[in-house]
Homo-oligomer: A and B are copies of this chain.
């Protein structure tokens, strides 16, 4: 199933679609209480959607940025305009590497071409990026499902078989589901694959303050797909792991350094520590475009700091059913809002790539083919 053919055939639910000359996606800032389509008609729309997190998730950001650059070239496609549009889009979010990767890929494709051929070629390249994202995530789903089946087999061997009364228990942080990608998701792809195969599963969903992507997005998409899940405070996962109530942790990633250090949503590192302390496998679903081979280790990954208002306030639905915002922190008290942290490679049991699992190390990443479409 690919993106370009998706509108014509049955396939996975797509978070991003092409409709005529524009993109259509879901406004994720309005989920889970309002499911509103968002049309993106030009590069400014795309940049605005990324900055405001109407679209988020490293792979989806990459795809939208690719289309955004293609849309920019419809207005002006000379070298100056190309470079300026690329930089405008690249500046929207600093941590996810897919953003710049997708933009550079589109630029490399169109730069050798005559100016008047660039916009169409860029659009084709953006479609290819989106197609590949769908294929990559489907492959991650297959490989991750095999890892989870291994956990289920070990549980059975230990006398605790996975069944409807005792499902496989997976904990995830933030949203690395279909909403974070063009389709399938990364961390949730193995869960969807196993669920489709009839394996009893239950997902512990970290709320993921301050933006609550777990409570709002992951809970919404898992419930929408019929996968049993329970939302917990970000503070709770350590206790559940200590009590043997988590069989595996799977998270996504925004950028992976050459040594296997993983930048992902703030709080990921704490769950990796807890998983290691309780002997729970900690896996990172990692499309190879998220690997940044230019960085020796995670210390070089830029950490985005977002508006402290995300910490001092919470968004949700009021008693009257409408979206509302609450202040949580006393007036005059400051807040700090780092959006990502870096989990050291030593705490990662495997990176689940589209080529299969690999060790989170320079050696492990070295076993992978140079990035190329795998579909």
Contact = CB atoms under 8 A, between A and B. Distances in A.
A267 B311 contact: no
A235 B232 contact: no
A311 B326 CA distance: 15
A333 B219 contact: yes
A216 B335 contact: no
B328 A215 contact: yes
A329 B266 contact: no
A239 to B, nearest CB: 4
A305 to B, nearest CB: 10
A317 to B, nearest CB: 5
Given A273-B274, A274-B273, A303-B239, A231 B312 contact: yes
Contact of A326 (B208, B270, B324): B324
Interface string A331-348: 011111110111000000
Interface string A49-60: 000000000000
A242 interface: yes
A236 B316 contact: no
A203 B208 CA distance: 22
A234 interface: yes
A264 B240 CA distance: 15
A327 interface: yes
Contacts of A337: 232-233, 236
A273 B277 contact: yes
Nearest to A269: B238
A311 B231 contact: yes
B267 A233 contact: yes
Contacts of A326: 314-318, 324-326
A205 to B, nearest CB: 8
A263 B229 CA distance: 27
Residue of A209, A329, A337 with highest tally of chain B CB at under 10 A: A329
Q: How large is the interface on A (under 10, 10 to 19, 20 to 34, 35 or more residues)?
A: 35 or more
Given A209-B207, A328-B212, A330-B219, A234 B233 contact: yes
B314 A238 contact: no
A236 B235 CA distance: 11
A223 interface: yes
Given A207-B209, A316-B314, A230 B336 contact: yes
A371 interface: no
A239 B298 CA distance: 12
Contacts of A303: 239
A32 interface: yes
Given A207-B209, A207-B311, A317-B327, A242 B269 contact: yes
Interface in A344-365: none
Contact of A335 (B33, B230, B327): B230
A340 B238 CA distance: 11
Contacts of A330: 32-33, 216, 219-220, 223
A210 interface: yes
